[in-house]
Structure 1
Amino acid sequence: MAKAIYTNVPRQLSDILKDVRNGRIGLPDLQRPFVWKDNKVRDLYDSMLKGFPIGYIMLWESPVDYDDKKAAIGIGEKAYKVPKDLVIDGQQRLTALVASMYGETVKDKNFQDRRIRIGYKPQTKEFDVWTQAVENNPEYISDISEAFSAKENNTSGKFRKDFIRRLNESRIKRNELELSDEEEYQIEENINELLHLESYQIPSLEIAYSSSEEDVADIFVRVNSAGQKLTENDFILTLISVYEKDRRDQIDKFCADSRIPADKTSFNHLLSVDPSHLVRMTVGVGFRRARLRYAYMILRGKDLQSGITSEEIRESNLEIFKKALDKVVDLNNWHGYLNILKEAGYISDKLIASSNAVVFSYVLYLIAKYDYHMDSMRLRKLIRKWFFMAAITYFYTGNAESDVEKQFADMREFKTADELEAYLQRAIDARFTEDYFKITLPMELETSSAISPSWYGYLASQIVLGYPMLFSTTPLSHMFSAGASGTKNAVDKHHIFPKNYLAQIGIEKDRDRNQTGNFTYLDYNTNIHVSDRRPQEYVVAFREKLGDEEYFKTCSQHALPDNFEAMDYFEFIQKRRFLMAQIVKKAYQRLCNS
Structure 2
Amino acid sequence: MAKTFESGDVPLADLLNQARQGVLQLPDFQRGWVWDDDHIVSLLASVSRSFPIGAVMTLETGNAEVRFRPRPLEGAPSATATTNPKYLLLDGQQRTTSLYLALRSGAPVRTRDTRKKEVERWYFADIDACIDPDADRNEAILSLPADKRRLSSRGELLLDASTTDAQVRAGKAGLFPLDIVLDQNATLDWQYAYLQAGPSMDQQLQIWKRFQEALISPFLHYSVPRIALDQKTSKEAVCQVFEKVNTGGVELTVFELLTATFAAEDFRLRDDWERRQATWADEPLLADLDATTFLQIVTLLWTRSRWEERMQERVRGDRVPGVSAKRREMLSLPLSGYKGWADAVTDTLQRVVRFLHGERIFRARDLPYSTQLVPLTAILTLLGEDAFKPAPRAKLRQWYWCGVFGELYGGTTDTRFANDLQDVLSWIQDDGEEPRTVRESQFQAERLLGLRTRNSAAYKGLYALAMKRGGRDFRTGDTIDAKAYAADSIDIRHIFPQKWCAANGIDSGYANCIVNKTAIDGQTWGYIGTNAPSKYLAAVEADLPVDSQDLDAIIASHDIDPVALRQDDFRAVFDARYERLIRQIEDATGRPVNRGDNHGSPFAEYQGGAALARSIQALIMAGESKIVEFKSTGRKNLSTGQKDRAIEWAVTKTVAGFMNGHGGTLLVGVEDDGNVLGLEEDLTVFTKKNTDAWEQWLTQLLILDFGKGAMANVTVRFSSIDSRTVARIDVAPASEPVYTLRTKTGTKGSVFLARLNNTTQELDGPDAFAYQHNRWFK
The residue aligned with 1:554 is: 554
Cα distance 1:77–1:343, how it changes in 2: closer, same or farther (>3 A)? Answer: farther
- 1:245 shift after superposition: 1.6
Q: 1:178 to 1:467 in 2, by over 3 A?
A: same
| CA distance in structure 2 between the aligned counterparts of 1:45 and 1:219, rounded to whole angstroms | 26
1:470-510 per-residue CA deviation (whole Å, 9 max, x = no partner) reads 4554764458866x6xxxx955643323223333345675x
Match of 2:328 in 1: 294
Residue 115 of structure 2 corresponds to 128
Aligned ranges for residues 563-578 of structure 1 at < 5 Å?
A: 563-564=564-565, 566=567, 569=570, 572-578=573-579
Kindly indicate which of the two structures has a greater share of residues assigned to strand: 2
Q: Confirm or deny: 8 A CA contact 1:61 1:86 kept in the other structure.
A: yes
The alpha-carbon distance between structure 1 residues 452 and 94, as it changes in their structure 2 partners (threshold 3 A), is farther
TM-score using structure 1 length? 0.65
Question: Which residue, 320, 341, 366 being the options, matches 1:324?
Answer: 341
Task: For residues 361-384 of structure 1, give each alpha carbon's deviation from its aligned partner in whole angstroms, at most 9, with x where no partner exists.
Answer: 111222334xxx957757777656
Secondary structure of the equivalent of 1:179? Answer: strand
Q: 1:354 — aligned with what? A: 369
1:523 partnered with 2:536? no
Number of equivalenced pairs: 495
Q: Does 1:48 align with 2:43?
A: yes
Q: Give CA deviations for 1:381-425 in whole Å, capped at 9, x if unaligned.
A: 76566445544543433342223343456589x5x9731xx3486
Give the direction of change, closer, same or farther, for the CA distance of 1:282–1:8 in structure 2 (3 Å limit).
farther
Does residue 256 (structure 1) correspond to residue 274 (structure 2)? The answer is: yes
Match of 1:579 in 2: 580
Structure 1 stretches lacking a partner, 5+ long: 102-115, 121-126, 131-141, 149-158, 300-316
Counterpart Cα distance in 2 of 1:354 and 1:518: 23
After TM superposition, list the pairs within 5 Å mapping 1:499-514 onto structure 2.
499-505=498-504, 511-514=509-512
2:454 alignment partner, SS class: coil
Residue deviations 1:454-475, cap 9 Å, x none?
2222332344356433455476
Q: What is the match of residue 124 of structure 1?
A: none
- Paired AA for residue 349 in structure 1: A
For residue 143 of structure 1, what is the aligned residue in structure 2? 119
User: What does 1:134-283 correspond to in 2, within 5 Å?
Assistant: 142-144=118-120, 160=145, 162=147, 164=149, 167=151, 171-172=154-155, 178-179=157-158, 185=170, 203-211=225-233, 216=238, 219-220=241-242, 223-226=244-247, 228=249, 230=251, 234=253, 236-237=254-255, 239-245=257-263, 251-257=269-275, 264=279, 268-271=283-286, 272-283=288-299
Q: Does 1:418 align with 2:429?
A: yes
Greater mean alpha carbon deviation, residues 465-474 or residues 449-458: 465-474
Q: Does 1:541 align with 2:536?
A: no
CA contact (8 A) 1:348 1:480 kept: no
Q: Which has the higher contact order (CA 8 A, sep 6+)?
A: 1
Check 1:252–1:61 CA distance in 2 against 1; reply closer, same or farther (3 A cut).
Answer: same
3-state DSSP class of the match of 1:7? strand
CA-CA distance at 1:80 after TM superposition:
4.9
Which residue of structure 2 lines up, in the alignment, with residue 123 of structure 1?
A: none
Counterparts of 2:115 and 2:101, CA distance in 1: 12
CA contact (8 A) 1:491 1:524 kept: yes
Structure 1 pair 98–418 and aligned structure 2 pair: CA distance change class (3 A): farther
Query: Which structure would you say has the larger Rg?
Result: 2
Where structure 2 has 5 or more consecutive residues not aligned to the other structure, the ranges are 103-108, 124-143, 184-218, 305-322, 588-712, 714-732, 740-776
Aligned equivalent of 1:446, options 427, 450, 467: 450
Q: How far apart, in 2, do the equivalents of 1:359 and 1:430 lie?
A: 20
Please provide the CA RMSD for this pair.
Answer: 5.2
Contact 2:452 2:514 in 1 (8 A): yes
1:29 Cα deviation (Å)?
3.6
The SS at the match of 2:81 is coil
Correspondence for 2:736: 590
User: Does residue 456 of the first structure (1) align with residue 457 of the second (2)?
Assistant: no
Separation of aligned partners in 1, 2:79 and 2:394: 50
Per-residue deviation, 1:336: 3.4
Q: Deviations over 1:87-110 (max 9, x none)?
A: 54457x479969999xxxxxxxxx
Contact 1:340 1:383 (8 Å CA) reproduced = no
| Shift in alpha-carbon separation, 1:567–1:280, aligned structure 2, 3 A | same
Aligned in 2, Cα 1:535/1:19: closer, same or farther, shift over 3 Å? farther
Residues in 1 aligned to 2:96 and 2:451: alpha-carbon distance in whole angstroms: 44
Q: Does structure 1 conserve the Cα–Cα contact (< 8 Å) formed by 2:26 and 2:90? A: no
Residues 291, 320 of structure 1: CA spacing in aligned structure 2 closer, same or farther, 3 A cutoff? Answer: closer
Measure the CA separation in 1 of the matches of 2:533 and 2:565: 8
Q: 1:403 to 1:119 in 2, by over 3 A?
A: closer
| Residue identity opposite 1:171 in structure 2 | R
| Structure 1 pair 117–446 and aligned structure 2 pair: CA distance change class (3 A) | farther
In 1, the alpha carbon distance for the partners of 2:501 and 2:182 equals: 64
Give the AA of the match of 2:226.
Answer: S
For residue 357 of structure 1, report the CA deviation from its aligned partner.
Answer: 0.6
* Counterpart AA for 1:523: D
